[in-house]
Structure 1
Amino acid sequence: MRAKFKKSTKRSVKKERTLQFTLNVIGIFMFIGVLIRWWTVPFAVNNDLRIYYNPDFQMKLSECKEFLEFTLCAASVYFLLVNIYFLGKRGKKLVYIILVLLAVFNLYMMLTLLAVATH
C-alpha cells in the first residue's frame, strides 16, 4: 500500500516572498546608508583621532543634486529588478537579460572612458 502525498506549493511561495521581502529590506537599508553619506562626508578624523568638520569636503548644491539623482536611479533599478525577479520564470529570464545588458554596457563605457582618458 502506497500513500500519495501532494507537494505543498504554499511553502515555496512563502519562502520566495520571504526572500523578496528580505532583499527589499536590505535595499532600503543600503540606499539609506548611501544617502546618509550626504551629511557625513564633511566630517573627518585628524591624527589625534578626533572628529572635526572640514568645509572643503562639503558637496555643492549641483553635486548634491547629481548625487541624489544617481542614488534614486540606482535604487529604482535595484528594486525594479528584485521585484521583477519574483514574478516567475519570465521575470527571472528578464532580470538575467537586463543584468547581462548592464554588464556589457558598463564594459563598453569603461573602455570608452579609458580610450578618451588616454588620448
Structure 2
Amino acid sequence: MRAKFKKSTKRSLKKEKTLQFTLNVIGIFMFMGILIRWWTVPFAISHDLRIYYNSDFQMKLSECKEFLAFVLCAASVYFSLVNVYFLGKTGKKLVYTVLVLLAVFNLYMMLTLLAVATH
C-alpha cells in the first residue's frame, strides 16, 4: 500500500515572503542611498586628497525638485514591480512584460538622444 502525501506549500510561501521582504529592504536602502546623494554631491576631493565643499556642485531648487521627482518615480516603479511579482503567475507575467517594455523604451530613447546629439 502506498501513501499519498500532499506537498507542503507553507515552505515555498515562506521563502517567497522572505525574498519579497529582502527585496523591499534592499530597495529601501538603495533609494535612501540615492537620496543621501542630494546632500553629499557638493563635497569633492582635492588633488592632495582633502575633502572640501564646492558650491558649484550644489543643486539649485529646480534641480532638487527634478531629482526628488525622479527618485520618487523610480522608487514607486521598483516597489510596485517587486510586490506585484509575488502575487502569482499573472503578477510575474505582468512584471516581465513591464520590464521588456521599459527596456524597449530605454533603447528607443537612447537612439533618439544619440540621433539628436549627432545632428
TM-score by length of 1: 0.96
Q: One-letter code of the match for 2:39? A: W
Residue 58 of structure 1 deviates from its aligned partner by 0.5
Partner residue, 1:57: 57
Q: CA-to-partner distance for each residue in 1:11-45, whole Å, 9 max, x for gaps?
A: 10010000000000000000000000000000111
Residue 2 of structure 1 deviates from its aligned partner by 2.8
SS of residue in 2 equivalent to 1:116: helix
Q: One-letter code of the match for 2:4? A: K
- CA RMSD of superposed structures (Å): 0.8
Unaligned runs of 5+ in 2: none
Provide the rounded CA distance (Å) in 1 between the counterparts of 2:60 and 2:25: 30
SS of residue in 2 equivalent to 1:36: helix
Residue 4 of structure 1 deviates from its aligned partner by 2.6
Q: One-letter code of the match for 1:85? A: Y
Partner residue, 1:66: 66
Provide the rounded CA distance (Å) in 2 between the counterparts of 1:3 and 1:47: 75
Unaligned runs of 5+ in 1: none
Provide the rounded CA distance (Å) in 1 between the counterparts of 2:110 and 2:50: 38
Q: What pairs with 1:1-119 in structure 2 (closer than 5 Å)?
A: 1-119=1-119
Residue 48 of structure 1 deviates from its aligned partner by 1.9
Percent identity over the alignment is: 87
Provide the rounded CA distance (Å) in 1 between the counterparts of 2:33 and 2:112: 31
